[in-house]
Amino acid sequence: MSLVGKKAPWFKETAVVDGEKIITEFTLEKYAGRHDVVMFFYPMDFSMVCPTELIAFSKRKKDFEERNVKLIAVSCDTEQSHLAWLQIPVEYGGIKGVTYPIVSDKNKTMAKNYGVLTGDYYYDDDDMLRADSPTMVAFRGLFLIDRDGVVRHESINDITITRDVDDVLRVVDAFQYYREWGDVCPAGWHKGESTVKPTWGQMSSYLSGDKKEK
Burial 80-92 (b: 16+ CB within 10 A, else e): ebbbebbeeeeee
Specify the length of the chain in residues: 214
Q: Of these residues, 3, 16, 38, 50, which one is catalytic?
A: 50
- Give CB contacts under 8 A, 24+ apart, made by 43-49: 43/75, 43/118, 43/137, 43/138, 43/139, 43/140, 43/159, 44/75, 44/76, 44/77, 44/137, 45/75, 45/77, 45/81, 45/82, 45/84, 45/85, 46/81, 46/85, 46/93, 48/93, 49/162
Look up 50 and say whether it is catalytic: yes
Q: How far is CA 157 from the centre of its chain?
A: 11
Active-site residues, by number, are 50
